[in-house]
Each structure stands twice: as C-alpha cells, then as structure tokens.
C-alpha cells in the first residue's frame, strides 16, 4: 500500500515537472504554430516502455474500450489495435478518457480542445506522411477524420503545418548551432531545404535535401552535423535515409 502511494506521488511529481517544462516551452513559442510534443503526451499517459510507445499499456486498452473512433486503429499496423502512437493519440483526443488533473493539464497544453488541438493532430500526421511517402494514402485518411471531427479546412491544416514545421526546424537548429552561426545562415543552409521537403514531400525535394546535406558535408562538417542533428530530432529513421544518400 505504502509502495503504491509512494509510486503515485513520484509519478505526479514527474508530471508536474513535465507540465512546468511544457508551459515554459509554450511561453517561449508565444502562441506560434507548433507541433505537439509526442513524447510528453505519451509520458503523461504512462504508455512509454523502454523509450518506445507501449500499445499494451492499460490506458491504451482503456481508450480502445471507449470506442475505436472512426476505425482509427485501421490506419496502420494491426487493424483492431491502437498499435502506433499516432493512432492512440488521435483516438484518445476524441474519446475524452478520464485522467487525473495533472495529466489533463499536460494533454490540454499540447492538444487543446477546439481547432488548435485538431490542427496539431493533423500536423502530426502531415509530418509522418512526409517521412513515409509510401503510406501517404493511409495517413491522408487519418487527416480526413481529424478534419471532419474538428471542422477544419484543407487550407487551415496546410497553413498551420507549414508554419509549425518551420518553427520546429528552426528551434532545433538554432538550439544546436545558434551560438556559433548567425540565424540567417542557419535558416538558409540548414533548415530551409528540410522545411521545403516537409511542406512538399516529393522526390524532387528529397533529392534537393540530399544535395544540400552532401554540400554541407563537403564544406562545413559542423554545419553538416547540425543538419543531421535537426533531421534526427525530427525523425531518426528519416535522418538515416537522408544521411546514407548524402
């Protein structure tokens, strides 16, 4: 009994610290368009195991029992399971599962009720669609579900994502190299080709992204490392693909 109470206190304390960090990030962002912090959401829900999404966690089963929102589990993986983090986050957002107040505050900071939450959810799938073009059709289905449930237009989703991915790329790159290089240099050489690809994910822009990386590796290793660091922070699997071809 005492052990369970102690564990609960530790868990709540960790959530409070995470909430403080997320609020600080939100203040820094000054309400700019941004991506939701997926790891923070999963940590708040308690469904990360060994650093990865755990679809066997109790809360995932709980959300599944509340109803498979618009068959969201069929987007990828096993058809009847919320076996990817994006499926779970989308289903949990619309199922309104009961959670403790500390968790609810974190979730609503990252995915607020209303349009902003829907736009950040759609942006999560837009980002994934750019990183895995072979499954863009599946991810478009998820975006359509979000668009209808949150009453969004295609242009609202596209405009929000375009700004959010730019802010995210710049934030990562400036945090890594901002003390060594001017902001304009970082934007033009490191983040611009990345952002262009994410906004319009096609073979031409992927080739341009690879060329930009190869050029940086030939001219400036520090910037090249910053380029790869930015890609890794966005998606490590996609970064490996780009680095192997640079």
pLDDT in tens, 8-39: 545 555 655 655 555 455 444 445 799 999 99
Structural domain spans, the chain: 2-152, 158-245
Give, in order, the Cα–Cα distances in Å from 180 to each of 175, 177, 186, 207. Answer: 10, 5, 10, 28
| C-alpha torsion 116→118→120→125, nearest 10 | -170
pLDDT at 28: 43
**83-117: b or e for each residue (b if 16 or more CB lie within 10 Å)?**
bbbbbbbbbbbbbebebeebbebbbebbbeeeebb
Q: What distance in Å separates the CA atoms of residue 14 and residue 44, rounded to the nearest whole number?
A: 9
98-136 residue pLDDT tens:
888 888 898 999 999 999 999 999 999 999 999 999 999
Low-confidence ranges of the chain (pLDDT < 70): 1-31, 67-70, 243-246
Task: Please state the pTM of the whole predicted model.
Answer: 0.85
**Is residue 116 helix, strand or coil?**
helix
């Amino acid at each position: 009994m005492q052990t369970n109470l102690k564990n609960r206190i530790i868990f709540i304390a960790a959530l409070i610290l995470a909430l403080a960090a997320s609020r600080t990030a939100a203040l820094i962002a000054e309400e700019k368009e941004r991506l939701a912090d997926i790891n923070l959401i999963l940590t708040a829900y308690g469904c990360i195991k060994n650093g990865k999404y755990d679809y066997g966690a109790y809360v995932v089963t709980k959300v599944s029992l509340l109803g498979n929102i618009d068959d969201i589990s069929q987007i990828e993986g096993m058809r009847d399971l919320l076996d990817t983090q994006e499926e779970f986050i989308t289903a949990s957002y619309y199922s309104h599962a009961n959670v403790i107040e500390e968790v609810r505050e974190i979730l609503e900071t990252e995915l607020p009720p209303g349009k902003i939450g829907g736009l950040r959810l759609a942006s999560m799938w837009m980002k994934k669609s750019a990183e895995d073009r072979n499954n863009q059709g599946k991810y478009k289905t998820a975006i359509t579900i979000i668009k209808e449930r949150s009453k969004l237009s295609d242009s609202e989703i596209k405009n929000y994502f375009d700004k959010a991915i730019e802010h995210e790329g710049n934030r990562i790159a400036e945090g890594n190299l901002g003390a060594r290089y001017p902001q304009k240099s970082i934007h033009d050489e490191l983040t611009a080709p990345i952002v262009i690809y994410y906004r319009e994910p096609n073979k031409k822009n992927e080739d341009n992204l690879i060329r930009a990386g190869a050029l940086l590796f030939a001219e400036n290793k520090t910037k090249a490392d910053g380029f790869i660091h930015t890609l890794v922070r966005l998606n490590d699997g996609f970064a490996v693909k780009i680095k192997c071809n640079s």
